[in-house]
Amino acid sequence: KNEVEQSPQNLTAQEGEFITINCSYSVGISALHWLQQHPGGGIVSLFMLSSGKKKHGRLIATINIQEKHSSLHITASHPRDSAVYICAVCMYRQGNLIFGKGTKLSVKP
Amino acid sequence: DTGVSQDPRHKITKRGQNVTFRCDPISEHNRLYWYRQTLGQGPEFLTYFQNEAQLEKSRLLSDRFSAERPKGSFSTLEIQHTEQGDSAMYLCASSLYTFEAFFGQGTRLTVV
């Protein structure tokens, strides 16, 4: 079993829909990252969370430390949101990240 | 642009050749990480530097791989005698604090 599990693996939505991507992890962590990767490979960090909730524009990320679960929400989705969204955790006393396999999101106009 | 910079962006090489990638981190960042991402998978940790010291290496980093960060600034990742299985995206990230991560655009390696 992977230490970081994401669901769904693939997601197709119509423009304007509310989208949720889930991430569960099985290890103690110091922080959790939500990352966005477009075709071509570059990774952009969307959020870094250690507790609670963060919001940036149409993106919202939440984390429940007790349940070892995080969600990424996209409100009013747009075709430009199409990308792979990756959850990654930073373990205590370690600097490197452990990544989920990613969720490939496609938003249709 | 003061972000993490990787060079080259793309590299095609013949099997058996050696390749070297470079990563220039954000200037004040003392931590530097290399990751490898194969198609359809999330990135996997390869190695980590704090300043010039290589503090951790993954089992994924076989003897054909070597990484250096000679002056605690830029880093190089060399793969000797490349194999087709080395084809992947090689990502570099840097940070000042343990829990941060700032990524470069990656180097896509294709071994033919």
A9, A33, A97, A99, best to mutate vs chain B, most B CBs in 10 Å:
A97
Mean pLDDT of B16-39: 95
User: pLDDT of B41-77, one tens digit each?
Assistant: 999 999 999 999 999 899 888 899 999 999 889 999 9
Is the predicted pLDDT of residue B12 greater than 80, yes or no? yes
Mean pLDDT score across all residues of chain B? 93
Mean of pLDDT values over A84-88: 96
CA distances from B105 to A36, A39, B78 (A): 12, 11, 18
Percent of chain B with pLDDT over 90: 82
What is the residue-averaged pLDDT of chain A? 92
Query: A-chain residues within 8 Å CB-CB of B95?
Result: 95
Q: Is the pLDDT of residue A29 over 90?
A: no
Counting beta carbons within 10 angstroms of the beta carbon of residue B7, is it exposed (0 to 12), middle (13 to 18) or buried (19 or more)? middle
pLDDT tens, residue by residue, A17-27: 999 999 999 98
User: What band does A95 get if pLDDT is binned at 50, 70 and 90?
Assistant: confident
pLDDT at B1 over 60: no
Choose among A44, A90, A99: nearest Cβ to B99.
A90
How many CB pairs below 8 A link A and B?
68
Please report the DSSP string for chain A in residue order.
Answer: --SEEEE-SEEEEETT--EEEEEEE-S-EEEEEEEEE-TT--EEEEEEESSEEEEETTEEEEEETTTTEEEEEESS--GGG-EEEEEEEEETT--SEEE---EEEEEE-
pLDDT band at A99 (very low <50, low <70, confident <90, very high): very high
pLDDT digits (tens, 9 = 90+) for A52-81: 999 999 999 999 999 999 999 999 999 999
The dihedral built from the CA positions of residue B1, B6, B12 and B17, taken in this order, carries a sign that is positive
Q: Which residue of B has its CA nearest to A49?
A: B99
pLDDT band at A1 (very low <50, low <70, confident <90, very high): low
Mean pLDDT value of segment A36-63? 92
Of B42, B89, B105, the CB nearest to A86: B42
For residues B101-110, give the mean pLDDT.
94
What number is the average pLDDT over the span A25-37? 91
Query: How far apart (Å, rounded) are the C-alpha atoms in residues A100 and A5?
Result: 6
Give the DSSP per-residue string, B23-58: EE--TT--EEEEEEE-TTS--EEEEEEETTEEEEE-
Confidence of residue A39 (pLDDT cuts 50, 70, 90): confident
Q: How far apart are CA A89 and CA A96, in angstroms?
A: 8
When pLDDT is cut at 50, 70 and 90, the band that residue A42 belongs to is: confident
Chain A interface, best mutation among B50, B99, B109, by max A CB count within 10 A: B99
pLDDT of residue B100: 83
